[in-house]
Amino acid sequence: MTNDKIPLAGVIGQPITQSKSPVVHAHWLRRYGIRGHYIPMDVSSVDLPHVLNNLPRMGFRGVNITIPHKESVLDIADVISDRAALIGAANTLTFQSDGKLHADNTDGLGFIANLKQEAPGWNPQAGPALVLGAGGASRAVVAALLHERVPEIILTNRTRARADALKAHFGGKIKVVDWTQAASHLDETATLVNTTALGMTGKEELKLNLGRLTSDTLVTDIVYNPLTTPLLAQAEARGCQTVDGLGMLLHQAVPGFERWFGRAPEVDAELRNAVLR
Ligand code: ATR
């Protein structure tokens, strides 16, 4: 890779039109006056190895990876970060100067950075976290919470077997409870996280009886469309501090931008407004 080329990065998925990443990176490039481009690319699974092989010589420093390639890209990567290996998926690829393809997962980091920025008093070690859902997003959230030394994760999923599998993967600090029993654990919950798509515009609402939710629980949702999900609205009405999911999306983009374009970007209100426009 020659360094006099205009730095390029992008996001690869299929479909790709829904991705907000181009808006995030374009905002930062403009804001910091960096001469670079960030390009959305619609790429099939069959074409992915070939595309990744060819991007570096065109000036690409790296790419974000989204659905449906986040897991399968680990088979193509040469170097896999510990957290990507633990989660079993990558979202940030960097073409190293030695020619190797480095795969990282910044979703969990984005989740934690969002909570720390929006709820500065939040202490992950204050008590158990109740995590709703056991899909791909949940794996990143659970890994991040364990990294932050949460004392216990109470994990619940509509399909219990998926939660059991996640516990088998991550180990002892996870207690799996039935989806129908989740509400009974709210009074012992310090951090409540919805990692399912329930509550998103066009999807069913999350039906969780919040009767036992106490006002010292921090409630967050990875859904950001709408920003205030029914869960967050109900939690707010009960006096809880709440954090919406948009910041996770913004913060997970930070490490890639810094690696590819050489500047640590800020996540602030201006960026949030640019993405919401
Ligand atoms: P993601 O990568 O966004 O986490 P996913 O791996 O498909 O996507 O996981 C979706 C999560 O939302 C799962 O926990 C799923 O529960 P199941 O494992 O039982 O499918 C949950 N989910 C989706 N629709 C749901 C619904 N109607 N009720 C309860 N949970 C639902």
pLDDT (tens digit per residue) in 8-39:
999 999 999 999 999 999 999 999 999 999 99
Find the 133 Cα to ligand 1 centroid distance in Å.
6
Whether 177 and 141 share a structural domain = yes
Most ligand 1 atoms within 8 A of CB, residue of 18, 196, 223 to mutate: 196
Whether 94 and 55 share a structural domain = yes
**Statement: residue 1 has pLDDT above 60:** no
Residue 70: active-site member: yes
Find the 26 Cα to ligand 1 centroid distance in Å.
31
**Statement: residue 106 has pLDDT above 60:** yes
CA distance 41 to 52: 11
Give the pLDDT of residue 19: 96
**Statement: residue 172 has pLDDT above 90:** no
Give the pLDDT of residue 249: 97
What number does the ligand 1 atom closest to the CA of 67 have? 2
CB 134 near ligand 1, within 6 Å: yes
* 3 part of a folded domain: no
CB 229 within 8 A of CB 194: yes
Whether 121 and 182 share a structural domain = yes
CA atoms lying within 13 Å on the CB side of residue 165 = 13
Which of 70, 167, 173, 175 is the catalytic position? 70
Instruction: Report pTM.
Output: 0.96
* CATH number where 197 lies: 3.40.50.720
Give the domain range for residue 210.
108-248
Report the number of distinct structural domains present in the chain: 2
Whether 73 and 176 share a structural domain = no
